[in-house]
Structure 1
Amino acid sequence: FRAFLFGRLGLSRFNILLIVSGAFGLFQKNIVVQAGGYKEGLVGEDMELVVRLHRYMKENKLDKRIEYVPAPVCWTQAPESMEVLRSQRTRWHRGLAETLWTHKRMIGNPKYGSVGGVSMLYFFLIELLGPIVELIGYFIIPLNLLVGTLNFEFGIVLLVVALLYGSLLSAGAVLLEEWTMHRFKNVKELIRLYLWSLTESFWYRPILVFFKLGGLIQFLTGRGNWGQMERQRLEDVTEEKVG
C-alpha cells in the first residue's frame, strides 16, 4: 500500500517513475519499438524497459510521460509461502541491480534531468544499497550495547520516532486503500491489519533484507534464475473464498 499509494504516485507526479506494475502496464507501442522493446536475459525486464523509455525520451527530447494510474484494478496472486516470497524478492532485487548496471551512466547524470539526478540516484543509494546498510546496523547496534558505547536514551528516541513515522505512513496507506476500494468487511479487520503493520520493523523487514542481499549476491556472481511462483487455478481460489 505504501509503495503504490505514496511512492509511485509521488514519483509519477514528477515524471520520474522507474517502474510500473508488471501485471498491468500499458505502453505506447511505437515508442517501445523505437526504444528497442523488451531486453532478453534480464529478470527485471519490466523495470529495465521503463528506465530505457525514460532514457530514450530524454536523449531524443520527446515530450512524453510515464505515469502510475491508481484507478485500474488487477488481481494478481501473491506469494503464499516463505520460499515463494524469498524467490520473488530475491528476483526483484537482482532485477533492480541489473537495470541500474545497464543504465549506470544515467545515475546522477544531469543530462537525464530528475530521472538521473533524483530517481536513479535514490534507487541506487537507498533501494539497492539500503539492505547492506541495514544489515550492518543489525550488528553494530547490539555490539555498541555490549561495549557500552551506545547512547541508550538517544537510541530509544530514534526508535520511537521511526516507529511513529512508519505507523503514520501505514495508517494513511491502509485508510486510503479502504476509502477507495472498500475491501474490508468491518472495522476490526482494518484495525488488525494496522496493528500487524506496526510489527513489521521487528520481523518482516529483517527477513526482506536477507532476501534482497540474496538477489544482490546473485547479480554479482551471475548465478540464479527467475525462480518459482506457485499459482492456483482461478476456480480453486474462488472455491476457497466461497468455502
Structure 2
Amino acid sequence: MLLCEVAAELEDGARSRVDARPLRPDGARPVRRASGVVAVVDDDVLVRLVRRRLGWHRGLLDTLWSHRDAILRPRYRGMAFGGLGLFTAVEAVGPIIDALGLVALVAGLSLGLVHHEFALLYFALAYLWGITLSLGALALEDRATGSELRVRDRVWQVVAACSEPLWYRQLSLWWRLRGTWRWLRGGERTWGTMTRSGFTGSGR
C-alpha cells in the first residue's frame, strides 16, 4: 500500500506539470514513445525553470518526509533502499554535501591545504567523466527513441553537454539549496503561474 501511495503522488504530480511532447517544426505532434525524456516549453524559460526546479525539490522533500518511516527499513525492501533511500541520500542530502564540499575546496585552496596541481587534475577528470555520461545519455536516448533531430540541434546538444558542468550544475545546486531552505521554513506550497506555449489540443 505504501508503494502504491508514493507512486500515486508522483504520478499525480507529473500529470499536473507537463505534456511531454513538443511540436515538430511542421506543426505535427510526434508519436509518443516509451522514453523518460521530458521536454517543457515555456514563454519565459529561465524564470519558470527556476520556479519549477524549486517546486520539484520541495515536492521531493515533502514526499520523503511523508514516508520517512519507510526509509532504509528492511520490511519495505527495494523501495526503502533503492527508492526512498537513494533519493534521500542523493537528492535530499546531496546538495548540502555538494555545497560544503565547494566551501571546503575554496578554503583549502586559499589556505594552501590543497595541492593546486592535484586539484586541477581532479577537476579535469571529473569534467571529462561528466561530459562522457552526458554524451552517452544523449546517444542512448537517440537510439531508444529514433530521434530525427536536425544537425544543428544535435550540435547544440553536444555544446550543452560539454558546458553544463561549468555553469548549469552550479545553478542547479543553488536552486536545490533554495528549495531546501524554503521547505525547512514551511509556508505556502505553490508553483505560481506556469504559462506554457507550444502545445495544442489535449495531446492524447
Aligned to 1:231: 196
Task: Report matched runs for 1:153-192 at 5 Å.
Answer: 153-179=117-143, 180-186=145-151, 188-192=152-156
Flag structure 1 segments of 5+ consecutive residues without an equivalent.
1-17, 19-31, 39-44, 51-68, 236-243
Aligned to 2:160: 196
Q: Which amino acid aligns with 1:230?
A: T
Give the fraction of aligned pairs with identical amino acids, expressed as a percent: 28
Q: Which of residues 84, 99, 103 in structure 2 aligns to 1:139?
A: 103
TM-score when normalising by structure 1: 0.63
Higher relative contact order (CA 8 A, sep 6+): 2
Counterpart check, 1:114 vs 2:51: no
Counterpart check, 1:71 vs 2:27: no
Q: Which amino acid aligns with 1:109?
A: R
Aligned to 2:93: 129
CA RMSD between the two structures: 3.0
The 1:195/1:112 distance shift into structure 2, 3 A limit, reads same
Q: Which amino acid aligns with 2:159?
A: L
TM-score when normalising by structure 2: 0.74
Q: Secondary structure of the equivalent of 1:231?
A: coil
Q: Secondary structure of the equivalent of 1:234?
A: coil
Q: CA deviation at 1:233?
A: 5.6
Does structure 2 retain, via aligned residues, the 8 Å contact 1:47–1:96?
Answer: no
Cα deviation code 1:15-56 (max 9, x no counterpart): xxx9xxxxxxxxxxxxx6xx5996xxxxxx426889xxxxxx
The number of equivalent residue pairs is: 178
Q: Which amino acid aligns with 1:228?
A: T
Does structure 1 retain, via aligned residues, the 8 Å contact 2:54–2:176?
Answer: yes
The 1:76/1:153 distance shift into structure 2, 3 A limit, reads closer
Q: Distance in 2 between matches of 1:122 and 1:36?
A: 14
Q: Secondary structure of the equivalent of 1:78?
A: coil
Q: Which amino acid aligns with 1:193?
A: Q
Q: Distance in 2 between matches of 1:136 and 1:149?
A: 16
Flag structure 2 segments of 5+ consecutive residues without an equivalent.
15-31
Aligned to 1:102: 66
